[in-house]
Amino acid sequence: MIVVDTSVWIDFLAGKQTPNCLLLKSAINKSEDLCVCGVVITEVLQGIRQDKDFEKVFQILNDLIYLSEQKTTHILAAKIYRSLRKNGKTIRKPIDCIIAATCIENSAFILHNDRDFEFISEYFPLQKYEDL
């Protein structure tokens, strides 16, 4: 299972050819299990300006496997944030801690373009998708 972060979805939907967008295309072509969590849905959809584009992107995200957050997810997210802060790494977007905790709890890989996930993976068992 692969959770695709907002940072990759934005580039992918804009038609960019970044390495992570190419990894996403490869995962789609391989019929990998692509997943989404609530905060990614919110982040991606809130940035859509046109109604017709909103509906199209909504359908794409709605067809993915949904990984829900539990109370334990939010507690783990807080522990991730606190632990990294104690180690001198400040996470810019605490929402990334929720996404990382969701991945960890579900043994899912993260496909991202965000340095916060790099910091998190140094201290926690966050698996990065790098064309397995």
CA distances (Å), 76 to each of 14, 41, 105, in order? 32, 20, 9
Tokens 């967008």 correspond to 21
Whole-prediction pTM: 0.92
Short-list 24, 1, 48, 15, CA closest to 113 = 24
d(C-alpha 50, C-alpha 101), whole Å: 32
pLDDT digits (tens, 9 = 90+) for 21-42: 999 999 999 999 999 999 999 9
Domain range list for the chain: 2-128
Q: CB neighbours of 50 closer than 8 A, spacing ≥ 6?
A: none
- Nearest CA among 27, 82, 36 for reference residue 62: 36
Which among 80, 27, 54 is positioned nearest to 5, based on CA atoms?
27
Q: Are 90 and 84 in contact (CB under 8 A)?
A: yes
What's the DSSP call for residue 108?
-
- Predicted confidence at residue 131, as pLDDT, reads 52
Residue 15 has pLDDT above 70, yes or no: yes
For 59-81, what is each residue's pLDDT tens digit?
Answer: 999 999 999 999 999 999 999 99
Domain 2-128 matching CATH 3.40.50.1010: the answer reads: yes
